[in-house]
Amino acid sequence: MSKTYDLIIIGSGPAGLNAGIYAKRACLDTILFETIETSGGQITQTYEVDNYMGLPKINGFDLSQKFRDHAKSLDLEIVNAKITSIEQIRDRVKLVKTKDTTYLAKAVILATGAYPAKLGIEGEDEFRGKGVSYCATCDGAFFKGKTVCVFGGGDVALEDAIFLSKMATKVYLIHRRDELRGSQILQNEAKACDNIDILWSYAPVSINGNGKIEYVTIKNLKDNKDYRLDVDGVFVAIGTKAESSLLDGKVEMKKNRIVADETCKTSVPGIFAAGDVRTKQLRQVITAAADGANAVTSVLHYLSDLEQKK
Ligand code: NAP
Q: How many CB atoms lie within 10 A of CB 154?
A: 18
Residue from 283, 287, 291 to probe ligand 1 pocket by mutation (most atoms less than 8 Å from CB)? 283
Q: Which atom of ligand 1 is nearest to the CA of 179?
A: 46
Mean pLDDT over residues 164-187, rounded?
Answer: 98
d(CA 234, CA 175): 13
| pLDDT above 90 as % of the chain | 91
Check whether 38 has a pLDDT greater than 80.
no
Which residues of the chain are in CATH 3.50.50.60 domains? 4-115+240-309, 118-236
Distance of CA 153 from the midpoint of ligand 1 (Å): 6
What pLDDT was estimated at residue 2? 77
Check whether 36 has a pLDDT greater than 90.
no
User: Which CATH number fits the domain 118-236, given the four candidates 1.10.10.10, 3.40.50.1110, 3.40.50.2300, 3.50.50.60?
Assistant: 3.50.50.60
153 lines ligand 1 (CB under 6 A): yes
**Half-sphere CA count of 146, side-chain side, radius 13 A:** 18
User: Which CATH number fits the domain 4-115+240-309, given the four candidates 3.10.310.70, 3.50.50.60, 3.40.50.2300, 3.90.1150.10?
Assistant: 3.50.50.60
User: What would the pLDDT profile of 227-285 be if each residue is shown by its tens digit?
Assistant: 999 999 999 999 999 999 999 999 999 999 999 999 999 999 999 999 999 999 999 99
Q: How many residues does the chain have?
A: 310
Residue from 59, 205, 238 to probe ligand 1 pocket by mutation (most atoms less than 8 Å from CB)? 238
238 lines ligand 1 (CB under 6 A): yes
Residues 6 or more apart in contact with residue 127 via CB below 8 angstroms? 207, 209, 212, 213, 234
Mean pLDDT over residues 17-37, rounded?
Answer: 95
Q: How confident is the model at residue 1 (pLDDT cuts 50, 70, 90)?
A: low
d(CA 22, CA 59): 24
For CA atoms 176, 235, 157, 18, give the dihedral sign. positive
User: What would the pLDDT profile of 60-86 be if each residue is shown by its tens digit?
Assistant: 999 999 999 999 999 999 999 999 999
Mean pLDDT over residues 20-30, rounded?
Answer: 98
What pLDDT was estimated at residue 83? 97
What pLDDT was estimated at residue 99? 94
Q: Which residues are catalytic?
A: 135, 138-139
Check whether 295 has a pLDDT greater than 70.
yes
Buried b (16+ CB within 10 A) or exposed e, 116-148: beebebebbeebeeebbbbbbbebbeebeebbb
Angle CA 62–160–112, to nearest 5:
55
Check whether 304 has a pLDDT greater than 90.
yes
Check whether 37 has a pLDDT greater than 80.
no
Distance of CA 160 from the midpoint of ligand 1 (Å): 11
Check whether 310 has a pLDDT greater than 80.
no
- Choice between 224 and 90, residue whose per-residue pLDDT is larger: 224
Max CA pair span of the chain: 68
60 lines ligand 1 (CB under 6 A): no
Q: Please report, for residues 56, 96, 290, the alpha-carbon distance to residue 105 in angstroms, rounded to integers and kept in the order given.
A: 38, 8, 23
d(CA 7, CA 107): 5
